[in-house]
Structure 1
Amino acid sequence: MSRPLAVAENSPSAAATSTYALLILSLINLVNYLDRYIVTVALPYIQRDFQLDNTQAGLLGSFFMVVFMLASPISGFLGDRVPRRYLVAAGVLLWSLATGASGLATSFFALMVARACVGIGEAGYGAVAPSIISDLYPREQRTRVLSFFYIAIPVGAAAGYGLGGWLSEAYSWHVAFFAGGVPGLILGAMAFFMHEPERGAMDGPEAQKKLPFLVGLKGLARNDAFWWTTGGYTLMTFAIGGLAFWLPSFLVNERGLTADRAGFLSGAVTAVAGLSGTMMGGWLGDKMDRRTPGGGLRMSGVGLLLAAPLMFLSVQMNALAPMFTVIFLAQFLIFLNSGPINAAIVNAVPPAFRAFAMGLNVLFIHMLGDALSPTAIGKVADMRSLGFAIELNALPVLLGGLALLMAGKAFRNVNA
């Protein structure tokens, strides 16, 4: 056992500082997704006020993702070289101010600019946080710990759906953005006092050595486990990002729900499925990885293969109870992979290159994923119907499952 691991396990003060950092990062991640999902449930009101068709409305989500993904590798590069807590704090403060500014927008162009600033701020956080967590906890605990961190996705999505729907219905979509910006200002200030672990602290003395950027880039280019994982993650992100963006509008426009009810039901199902799926995935992922390298990735691949037909089936149903039951099962299977996928990425690359690898992963999963899918689904919806566009969305989930099975196989050769 390496000395850093022994210190982390035996020192109460080290455990406390690690827990504080994990808690702050997880709460920030929750606020991150709360902000993203407020805009999805407020979208019908934004479309009405600015008189947007579905393709234009989809651009609002795609433009945010384009800025976010382009800024992420830059943040990752900086995250391997400067104190990461400063990047986290600055990013959170920037995106929270920009979220509040979104509520002040009086034109579609002004709203697009505000959302671009949100994307820059979120990039400063998203590429760096997993690398901090990987330096706070040993390898055999990372899937569970990262699963706790990624629980914030369904909880934040549920909060965004519920808060955005309620405030948009009761007051206005402007008020929803004002409320969404407040928590991040508090958490951004708290992040300045977060513990900054040494890079590679939980991977032994050899892992703490600095790695020249070009050497790391060359090694990453040959890393099959990283690229298959990123490929599967990208396909899943395309499908899930597009579905999350358009699900409230589908419920309002094709199932006749009000925005607040659509937001509440979508949020409740996402929260329960996400919490249970993410926690189960963390526990099973660690267990499968102990049996064989890449076991957690293969479990994630099977989950996506099972989820794909359920996603297709869900929009065939008119009755709400059966529809949301099938949506719950699909989301549970999808959220199994939150911990295993991200643990695989940080475990597959050297510690001194993790922040950049995460940033590059963020670039690809959004560039080819949910930066495209809101606009693509909106375009198909304009040509045919929103229900048909969501049906097609099951195909990338199926392909993503196959890619993750390949990633699990390739992971056996990492550090062999």
Structure 2
Amino acid sequence: MTHPTLSARRELWLLLTIAGIQFTHILDFMIMMPLGPQFTRLFGISDAQFGLLVSAYTLSAGVSGLAAATYVDRFDRKLLLLTLYGLFALSTLACGLAPGYGFLMAARVAAGMFGGVLSALSQTIVADVVPFERRGRAMGIVMSSFSFSTVAGVPIGLFLASHLSWQAPFIGIAALSALFAVGAGLTLPRLNHHLLQRDRPSIWRGIRMVLADRNHLRAFGFTALLMLTGFTIIPFVTIYMQANVGLVDAQIPYLYLCGGLATLVSARLFGRMTDRFGKVRTFNWLAIAVMFPIMATTLAPRLPLWVVLVVATCLFVFLSGRMIPGMALVTSAAYPPLRGTFMALNASVQSGAMGLASLLGGFIISRDAAGQVQHYWVAGLFSVCASFATILMARRLHLHDGKSPPP
């Protein structure tokens, strides 16, 4: 498939716009996790019920990803992106206006329905526009949205939650999404080149072709393992840090501030490493490196704040860093004419795996009579095993450079 030809400056603007959109929907998901202690107190719910609240977003995104596979390659990607983004903003606003747990759960389901597809569509646009040889760097720019959400978004959101109310971060995200939507409408070019291709398969034939390709199935398995590695432990980091390590509410933003600042630098570095040393090799290095902070975090006793910040920062750096070569591998594993359908299905797998991982983590951990979190290290060990499995799976992926035919 022919890539749209953009100047270097226009390509950069496109990547920054996509990163901004990614920033808001990543922040919408991430802000739930440090608010965990507040939700458990305010709503009187258990850790497992909080895990369900987190997973409601991702499981809904998984279902909507399946539905998106039937239409994502049938529309101009710019028009589809703006439509879904507007619906996501409205759903996030509903979260901020929720009067109680039940309404909030419904609003999270709606936000996940549109936010999950946004992620797949954003990655599809990057893969459509940016040539294979620069895709690692491009993914580094887009994935830096994770860094900005942690270094700025989460601390500001927590500040608003502590000084106003827990609803304030969601209302702020909705307002910011409206601004980014206007920017996307002004800066993104028409993205309809995939519609001009001759002999495009029908919707259901396209889905069958994606699912019939063993390389695609391996990529789906790789994506699921990526999510299991992180989200078995991530939703419960704040809860564990407060209950077992001894951090207080005022110290939690420092975890995200330090982690975000570090990933802001490391994301660009890992993106360049991906293009220079190869996607598989860079991913393997990072997948091994992340195992150490995972176990250090889940086994941490009461520690000085500076030690906690070092451990948590390493966890942020390597968990987010492995996603850069990881998603470059996944997008490159897709046969280009079917990439939109593939990425929609992959988003469904990604979101479903995130939701199941959050539920699994919630069921693994428990509380003792003193309120201490128990068995978090078991979730960490499961996460390490999943990371090791991604290394084995990455070596089996066939990568398309935009020129090669399907295997």
TM-score range normalised by the length of the shorter chain: 0.7 to 0.9
Q: Which amino acid aligns with 2:383?
A: P
* Whole-Å separation in 1 of the counterparts to 2:316 and 2:30: 16
* Whole-Å separation in 2 of the counterparts to 1:156 and 1:208: 40
* Whole-Å separation in 1 of the counterparts to 2:210 and 2:79: 26
Counterpart for residue 389 of structure 1: 376
* Whole-Å separation in 1 of the counterparts to 2:183 and 2:377: 40
5+ residue gaps, structure 1, are 9-13, 290-295
| Contact kept in structure 1, 2:3 and 2:131, CA below 8 Å | no
Give 1:218 shift: 4.5
RMSD, matched Cα: 2.7
Counterpart for residue 57 of structure 1: 50
* Whole-Å separation in 2 of the counterparts to 1:397 and 1:216: 35
| Contact kept in structure 1, 2:70 and 2:207, CA below 8 Å | no
Give 1:195 shift: 0.8
Give 1:256 shift: 2.9
Counterpart for residue 267 of structure 1: 256
* Whole-Å separation in 2 of the counterparts to 1:39 and 1:3: 40
**How big is each residue's C-alpha offset from its partner over 1:147-185, in whole Å with a ceiling of 9 and x where there is no partner?**
211111232134343123212222210222222221001
* Whole-Å separation in 1 of the counterparts to 2:39 and 2:293: 30
Q: Which amino acid aligns with 1:148?
A: I
Q: Secondary structure at the match of 2:31?
A: helix
Q: Name the TM-score, length of structure 1 as normaliser.
A: 0.86
Among residues 309, 318, 323, which one is paired with 1:333 in the alignment?
A: 318
Counterpart for residue 239 of structure 2: 249
Residue 162 (str. 1) matches residue 155 (str. 2): yes
* Whole-Å separation in 1 of the counterparts to 2:57 and 2:201: 32
| Larger mean Cα displacement after TM superposition, 231-240 or 119-128 | 231-240
Q: Which amino acid aligns with 2:247?
A: L
Among residues 135, 152, 165, which one is paired with 1:172 in the alignment?
A: 165
Q: Which amino acid aligns with 1:241?
A: F
* Whole-Å separation in 1 of the counterparts to 2:77 and 2:2: 23
| Contact kept in structure 1, 2:16 and 2:141, CA below 8 Å | no
Counterpart for residue 292 of structure 1: none
Residue 399 (str. 1) matches residue 379 (str. 2): no
| Contact kept in structure 1, 2:26 and 2:149, CA below 8 Å | yes
* Whole-Å separation in 2 of the counterparts to 1:236 and 1:183: 29
Q: Name the TM-score, length of structure 2 as normaliser.
A: 0.88
Residue 371 (str. 1) matches residue 364 (str. 2): no
Q: Which amino acid aligns with 1:184?
A: S
Give 1:373 shift: 2.4
* Equivalent runs, 1:109-120 vs 2, <5 Å: 109-120=102-113
Mark the CA change 1:324 to 1:228 in structure 2 (over 3 Å): closer, same or farther: farther
* Equivalent runs, 1:209-224 vs 2, <5 Å: 210-224=200-214
Mark the CA change 1:223 to 1:252 in structure 2 (over 3 Å): closer, same or farther: same
**Aligned residue pairs: how many?**
397
**How big is each residue's C-alpha offset from its partner over 1:305-347, in whole Å with a ceiling of 9 and x where there is no partner?**
2321331123333213223323323433333322222222222
Mark the CA change 1:298 to 1:217 in structure 2 (over 3 Å): closer, same or farther: farther
Question: Sequence identity of aligned pairs in percent?
Answer: 18
Counterpart for residue 351 of structure 1: 336
**How big is each residue's C-alpha offset from its partner over 1:341-391, in whole Å with a ceiling of 9 and x where there is no partner?**
222222222323112211111211222x22022232222222666352255
Give 1:65 shift: 0.9
Counterpart for residue 69 of structure 1: 62
Give 1:145 shift: 0.4
Counterpart for residue 248 of structure 2: 258
* Whole-Å separation in 1 of the counterparts to 2:198 and 2:285: 35
Q: Which amino acid aligns with 1:284?
A: M
* Equivalent runs, 1:272-291 vs 2, <5 Å: 272-289=261-278
Residue 302 (str. 1) matches residue 291 (str. 2): no
Mark the CA change 1:312 to 1:32 in structure 2 (over 3 Å): closer, same or farther: same
Q: Which amino acid aligns with 2:129?
A: L
Counterpart for residue 34 of structure 1: 27
Counterpart for residue 323 of structure 1: 308
Mark the CA change 1:224 to 1:305 in structure 2 (over 3 Å): closer, same or farther: farther
| Larger mean Cα displacement after TM superposition, 213-222 or 171-180 | 213-222
* Equivalent runs, 1:192-207 vs 2, <5 Å: 192-193=185-186, 194-199=188-193
* Whole-Å separation in 2 of the counterparts to 1:4 and 1:220: 21
Give 1:124 shift: 3.6
* Whole-Å separation in 2 of the counterparts to 1:74 and 1:103: 26
| Contact kept in structure 2, 1:224 and 1:410, CA below 8 Å | no
Mark the CA change 1:49 to 1:19 in structure 2 (over 3 Å): closer, same or farther: same
* Whole-Å separation in 2 of the counterparts to 1:226 and 1:268: 37
